[in-house]
Structure 1
Amino acid sequence: MTVPLSVLDLAPIAPGETARDSFAASVELARAAERAGFRRVWYAEHHNMPTIASSATSVLIAHVAAHTETIRLGAGGVMLPNHAPLTIAEQYGTLETLHPGRIDLGLGRAPGSDQVTMRAMRRDPMAADTFPQDVLELQGYLRGESRVAGVQATPGAGTDVPLYILGSSLFGAQLAAALGLPYAFASHFAPAALHEAVALYRSQFRPSEQLAEPYVLAAVNVVAADEADDARAQLDAMRRTRVRGMVQRGAGGREYTDAEIDEFLTTPQGRQLADMMRYAVAGTPSDVGRYLDDFAAEARADELIVAFQSLGVADRLHSVALTGAIAAGAAA
């Protein structure tokens, strides 16, 4: 591999399983990533989604950190308009104090939910408008240079938890460049603006106290297996599951067969949904290695963050091990 690899753990709750099962799987996935030499594992904030367990990112990170030793852990990301910057500074300052040198804080401005859930969270619909100012306020708390007179983050002040700006549009690229922060693009589910956003970020980047040169993380979907046919079948099953969930939201919960989902995927709307996973590879380790090297070059990425897309926990863990072995072999 030409660039470091990291993991985006989507913390899925599989059919017939519970959030507790998902948390146990997240611990095992992080341990596997640590053994395999991945740089970091991130968790994303989502709300009111019955198939995703990572709503409380700081709590999940604390749990996984207590069961791992060296791998970096972080949010990819916290949806900052849902929270007061001081609260996030205290949470992630606490994590950094407990696990020094291991905590990342990725920040996004999306709600991580639908409109009804936004109201249930008491989120101000205009909160996203102050995202740049909120990032600076949060950064000040973590540096011990508060922008709010008389207010310090305890714990948090002086921990300098590294910040990352997440995005899937040009807004995040411009903000990350202006603030001199690393930029993580959500190309695993929103691929359309990847190249334009990265080019904009790199051309407008201004060095900062945290970062001297632009640094891009690009997300990609991966299924690695011993046999290529098995890997492709696993990716197809995940794609059907994701599309089925989207379709059923507007169909009163009606269950669709695999054949019906495959037929839907041939329609213009289905192809549009399938294109959300445009950047995906399923194959043997050699297949995956070639694809990731090509994708890193195409995306001009300094690091890839991998969403392992196998439905079964055992398959995900095996995929992590095989992909990590690719990177280790390339670095040897």
Structure 2
Amino acid sequence: MTDIPLKNTKFSVLDLAPVIEGGTPGDSFRNTIDLAKHVEEWGFTRYWMAEHHNMPFIASSATSIAISHVLHHTSTIRVGSGGVMLPNHAPLIVAEQFGTLETLFPDRVDLGLGRAPGTDQLTAQALRRNGNSNPDDFPEQLDELRGYFTGDSRIRAIPGEGLNVPIWLLGSSGFSAQLAGQLGLPFSFASHFSPNNTHGALRLYRQSFQPSETLDEPYVMVGVNVIAADTDEEAQRLATSLQQQFLNLVRNTNKLLQPPVDDMDEIWTTQEEAALQQQLGASIIGSADTVREKLEKFQMDTQADEMMVISQIYDHDARLRSYEIVADIMNK
């Protein structure tokens, strides 16, 4: 395996459409469009949105609609799902939705797929109604979905049939990594909340990879939290909003994205801090020089072809600045 210099690594954006304390989902989508326009201008490769449900601090539950909104307000950047949680949906509906998006915006749509519910079990039951769908059915659901695009089904997805909508598999463990490798599909790993499983999953993907009509060689994207600011101290302070978000998940309090604080030790316990370190340990936080150094090390460690940057920052202008710093790094 050859080294991939940082300058040759693609950079993309995962937008969770955060709903901040004192804000509304409408504000979130206005910020989404503003961010998408900026990162398109700055040269990011793709802009993905994620499916989550029953989480008041994330507005992108109707993911295909949110993606359509971004596509309508941009012109060149690829836009897609990071991801659509396939067990929540009939594969035919997903094929029709993304077939429609691809028809309206040719060669700009990605379909990233996950197998987790993206929510709690009670909400998952409300989404799936009969409760029969489960993550173990994912390979069969994926095969059905791909059949609608290729036309290898007695039921026709219109729009959808015959269209080339790139499919990515997303994962935070080894299951989707191995499946993506066996099918010769690109793989995106959620290092931003499952850092300890990164190397094992990427190794499994590369070892199991079989060339396909889609790819001749493995293609790896890694998700990474990046909080960049003009100084290390300001970045560390901004990052407390992300830390509070994960702490609220642990506590099951479901608060909106909170403003930064000066001292997290006044909020979390020692045990909670250790638990969060397990999930957020790969986060890259700091000034431009610090972020560059850490991105280079992370790229060397993972040999990723692409990095998908997630910046959960309370203040929108500070969030824009964080992505601007990343853009400066990737464009040098």
Look up the SS of the partner of 1:193 in the other structure. Answer: helix
User: Residue 5 in 1 paired to residue 11 in 2?
Assistant: yes
Q: Which residue of 2 aligns with 1:214?
A: 218
Seq. identity, %: 46
Question: Which residue in 2 is equivalent to 1:240?
Answer: 244
Judge conservation of contact 2:114–2:169 (CA < 8 Å) in 1: yes
Q: CA-atom RMSD, angstroms? A: 2.1
Q: Which residue number in structure 2 is paired with residue 314 of structure 1?
A: 317
User: Does structure 2 conserve the Cα–Cα contact (< 8 Å) formed by 1:13 and 1:22?
Assistant: yes
Q: CA deviation at 1:321?
A: 1.2
- 1:134 is matched with 141
Q: How many Å separate the matches in 2 of 1:23 and 1:237?
A: 19
**Alignment gaps of 5+ in structure 1:** none
Tell me, in whole angstroms, the C-alpha distance in 2 between the residues paired with 1:198 and 1:123: 34
Alignment-derived partner of residue 61 in structure 2: 55
- What does residue 185 of structure 1 align with? 189
Residues 259 and 39 of structure 1: is their aligned pair in 2 closer, same or farther, counting only changes over 3 Å?
closer
Shift of residue 123, structure 1, vs aligned partner: 5.6
Decide whether the 8 Å contact of 2:50 with 2:83 is kept in 1.
Answer: yes
Specify which of 286, 291, 296 is matched with residue 293 of structure 1. 296
Q: How does 1:211-290 map to 2 (within 5 A)?
A: 211-249=215-253, 262=265, 265-290=268-293
- Unaligned runs of at least 5 residues, structure 2: 1-5
CA separation in 2, counterparts of 1:185 and 1:286?
A: 25
Tell me what 1:100 maps to.
106
Would the aligned equivalents of 2:247 and 2:272 in 1 still touch at CA under 8 Å? Answer: no
TM-score by length of 1: 0.92
CA drift of 1:240 comes to 2.5
SS of 2:196's partner is: coil
**Compared CA separation, residues 24 and 178, structure 1 to 2 (3 A):** same
Contact kept, 8 Å, 1:265 with 1:271, in 2: the verdict is no
Measured after TM superposition, the shift of residue 260 of structure 1 is 9.0
Note if 1:174 corresponds to 2:178: yes
Structure 1 counterpart SS, 2:285: strand
Tell me: CA distance 1:228–1:93, structure 2 relative to 1, closer, same or farther (3 Å).
same
Question: CA 1:266–1:127 in 2, change beyond 3 Å: closer, same or farther?
Answer: closer
For residues 29 and 172 of structure 1, the distance between their equivalents in structure 2, rounded to whole angstroms, comes to: 30
Matches of 1:17 and 1:242 in 2, distance apart?
Answer: 19
User: Equivalent residue for 1:30?
Assistant: 36
1:65-144 paired onto structure 2 within 5 Å: 65-121=71-127, 122=129, 124-143=131-150
- Once the two structures are TM-superposed, the CA of residue 179 in structure 1 deviates from its matched residue by 0.8
Find the partner of 2:199 among 179, 186, 195: 195
CA distance in 2, matches of 1:126, 1:320: 38
